[in-house]
Amino acid sequence: MGTQTKPAQFGVVGMGVMGASLALNIADHGFRVAVWDRHPENITKVQQQNPKQALAGFPELEAFVAGLERPRRVLLMITAGAPVDQMMERLFPLLSPGDVIMDAGNSWYLDTRRREALCKEKGFHFLGIGVSGGEEGARNGPSIMPGGPKDAYALVQPVLEAIAARSEEGLCVTHVGPEGAGHFVKMVHNGIEYADMQLLAETYDVLRRGLGLETAQLGDLFSKWNEGIAESFLLETTIKVMRKRDPETGKPLLDLVLDKAGQKGTGKWTVQVALDLGVPVPSIASALDARNLSAHKDERVAASKKLHGPTVSLSSEEQKELAQWAHDALYAARVVTYAQGMRLIQAASDEYKWGVSLAEMARIWRGGCIIRAKLLTPLREAFQQQPTLPNLLVSEAFAPVLEKLAPSWRKFLGTATKAGIPVPVFSSSLAYMDSYRSPELPQNLTQAQRDAFGAHTYQRRDKPDAGFVHSDWLK
Ligand code: 6PG
């Protein structure tokens, strides 16, 4: 199966869609690539489908590793979790000190930390690399988020830079930080992706049920939006989805898709980590809940017969303005969603001392990845101008925009709520913004309650030096 005479400069393990696409992308850029898969027929398939790219395929792992120039650079694109550990165990006896293992799957960042430490002990380098952009991105230019030791990154940098997407703001790859920083950032990317997708789903729902727009009409409306500030890859994808017709029935294919959302787990991880770090990410959590609730289709159908909502009846102002309110709300809520994700990355970077640059993350997300969007440009500028910005919402670039769009957002939510159409991410995002901008929150009552029933103590505003005190509330 091997077709190259000189040793390969890069090895890819895992010839699934993503691994094969990355291997072909690397070969396109003039690197000699060796590939391996536990099912040799997958190697043959990729080679036969791509006769022009000289991928050297090895059915035996030993021969694959022996066919790599040193230091060996082996990228794993396999199922995250135990398979990565098993693969590493198989590779260890075949590798030499100084070789680099890269895990490019959606791995849990603490696994990445552990694997890096293990490799270090054995004299190998380890990089945990977030890769975004799906099959198309992997093949033609993904956004790449590598984490791990900088000297290891230097050994693979030319290859990663050659294959990464390019935007007007440069190459969509940079060294994110040490340890699991790359996988952490990729995980948060996916969390933002969940929220952004759900915002689009809610917009679609309110407009179809509120205004009675057909799927194709919505595609046309979204297409106009995509020419302005709301431009994004996910909006563009949504338009394509809305315009696709089912070849069998001629109906919009979207109308035939069952409304039960799946997930692979990165959104859930984002929310779990956010809880651990004490960082509120309600937009992402609501998007996750929306997927979870959607999965209970049978219960929902049964409940719809018992719990009746209001009849959708819009005023003439609502009919006229709803689409514009939706547009403004979508942009503003999206800003809030990205703000939460960025805040979470900052918190992890502080906790683990990773030194992640939020401006750089926004820059490498500008092309290739699923959440690439026009708003990432002002977002990057905001963090560039003020790297210690506590939250994007208070940046000079976004605070005035949010203030300007908030009235439309409130009207959009009001209309949806009055009509009984669920808008969980739009509402939780607005509640986040309203809470964040509130100098006074009702948690004085929470503290008093805690102290009343559990003697958990509280602080007095009028005696800041008194520390935590207790009162006998119930007598
Ligand atoms: C990407 C995507 C990719 C994938 C996720 C999310 O950046 O290319 O985020 O990683 O779409 O696996 O999948 P789920 O929606 O199934 O969790």
For 167-206, what is each residue's pLDDT tens digit?
A: 999 999 999 999 999 999 999 999 999 999 999 999 999 9
Ligand 1: centre distance to CA 135 (Å): 11
For ligand 1, whether the C-beta of 251 sits within 6 Å is no
> If you ran DSSP here, which 8-state letter would residue 69 be given?
P
pLDDT score of 54:
82
**For residue 430, which of 400, 470, 402, 391 has the smallest C-alpha distance?**
402
For 200-243, what is each residue's pLDDT tens digit?
A: 999 999 999 999 999 999 999 999 999 999 999 999 999 999 99
Ligand 1: centre distance to CA 454 (Å): 44
- Residues serving a catalytic function are 186, 193
For 48-105, what is each residue's pLDDT tens digit?
A: 999 888 899 999 999 999 999 999 999 999 999 999 999 999 999 999 999 999 999 9
pLDDT score of 52:
85
**For residue 15, which of 99, 82, 78 has the smallest C-alpha distance?**
78
What number does the ligand 1 atom closest to the CA of 106 have?
A: 10
- Evaluate if pTM is beyond 0.95: yes
Ligand 1: centre distance to CA 339 (Å): 20
What pairing do the DSSP bridges indicate for beta strands 458-459 and 125-132? unpaired
106, 284, 292: residue to mutate for ligand 1 pocket, most atoms within 8 A of CB? 106
Domains annotated on the chain, with CATH = 10-179 (3.40.50.720), 188-436 (1.10.1040.10)
Alpha carbon distances (Å) from 168 to 128, 375, 403, 426, 429? 26, 14, 29, 30, 30
Please check whether residue 21 is in contact with residue 135, taking contact to mean a CB–CB distance below 8 angstroms: yes
For 340-377, what is each residue's pLDDT tens digit?
A: 999 999 999 999 999 999 999 999 999 999 999 999 99
For 396-425, what is each residue's pLDDT tens digit?
A: 999 999 999 999 999 999 999 999 999 999
Q: What percent of the chain has pLDDT over 70?
A: 99
What dihedral angle (degrees, nearest 10) is formed by the CA atoms of 218, 223, 228, 230?
60
Q: Which residue has the tokens 């890269």?
A: 102
